[in-house]
Amino acid sequence: MKLSRIICVTTFAVLVSSLAAVADPEIPKPEIVKPESVNEQAWTLRWADEFNGPAGSPPDSRSWNIETGGHGFGAHELQTYQDRPENLALDGQGNLVITVRLEDYGGFTSARIHTREKIEFTYGAMEIRAKLPAGAGLGPAIWTGGFGNETPWPLCGERDIVEVFGADASRAVSSLVGASKENEDVMVGQSESYVFPQGQDVTGWHVYRYEYAFSLDDRPEEMRFYVDGQLYRRARADWFPGQWVFGKYKHFLLLNVAVGGDRPWGSPTGETQLPQQMVVDYVRLYDVAR
Ligand SMILES: [Ca+2]
């Protein structure tokens, strides 16, 4: 589809993407090995949504809030979030589907849902099985935030369990976002990528898992990120360039597909295929024992 009217935004997005993954070379990088402290028996299922329900129905309102509107989130994002089945619905086969569309009037529509004040957590694990869209300007995200409660972003922290940066379907990107140690209004982010094996990419079914475990004996608290059971990232306060605020504030889960804006996924181009879908088989939240 021809999207020439918005291509002028591209240079802006490229500039921002170069700032997106701020990694301090002085911070030691951990070895990627399964830590001894992981005790699979310590995780207990607290909540899950398997997305079983009639085709066309919305996600369960006992767990989910549907956010609508098109205000750009302070970054000139292009999509208008909708609550209609064309953008957000169960498929009747056990999946939640978010569909991003280019409408006849020239605007993009999509959906964004979250569990604020319904399902909240600090420590624990989140596991999601999903297929994600990819394409220039598309920013599918499965993430947690604490904003809208008492503490503003970025001080409340943000954990991007998986995002896709536009057309790069070969990588699943996780990011931790917090505030600078010097200024709580300044955002500091740290991103790492899982690179899929040959022949796979984010558009296929994959299991994304995030764990946040308490400190144990002499080991500090730690986060771990997995794709299809492969541990590819560990994160600790000592390795994070900003304030490590993640144990302080309640977070909720968000699922959305953004389009464009001053973001690492860039802007849509003539190559961007639409409509596309984020399909989620399940989300499962586990508590961890101290
Ligand atoms: Ca399911």
- 11 alpha carbon to ligand 1 midpoint, in Å? 39
User: Assign residue 170 a region: left if phi > 0, alpha if psi is -120 to 50, beta otherwise?
Assistant: alpha
* Token output for 222: 């730690």
| pLDDT in the model for residue 214 | 83
User: pLDDT, tens digit, for every residue of 119-145?
Assistant: 999 999 999 999 999 999 999 999 999
73: left (phi over 0), alpha (psi -120 to 50) or beta: left
CA of 115 to the centre of ligand 1 (A): 18
Domain chopping of the chain, boundaries = 4-23+46-288
How remote is the CA of residue 223 from the centroid of ligand 1, in Å?
Answer: 26
**Average pLDDT of the segment spanning 78-97:** 98
Q: pLDDT of 216-259, one tens digit each?
A: 777 789 999 999 999 999 999 999 999 999 999 999 999 999 99
Overall fold of domain 4-23+46-288: Jelly Rolls (2.60.120)
Query: The whole model's pTM is what?
Result: 0.87
Q: Of the candidates 90, 84, 88, 85, which has an alpha carbon nearest to the alpha carbon of residue 282?
A: 90
Distance CA 16, CA 191 (A): 14
In the structure, ligand 1 is a single-atom ion and the residues with CB under 5 Å from it are 50-51, 94, 281-282
Of the candidates 210, 176, 169, the residue with the CA atom closest to the CA atom of residue 191? 176
Distance (angstroms) between ligand 1 centre and the Cα of 50 equals 4
Q: Dump pLDDT digits (tens) for 173-210.
A: 999 999 999 999 999 999 999 999 999 999 999 999 99
Beta bridge partners of 219: 216
Contacts of 150 by beta carbon, 8 Å cutoff, 6+ apart: none
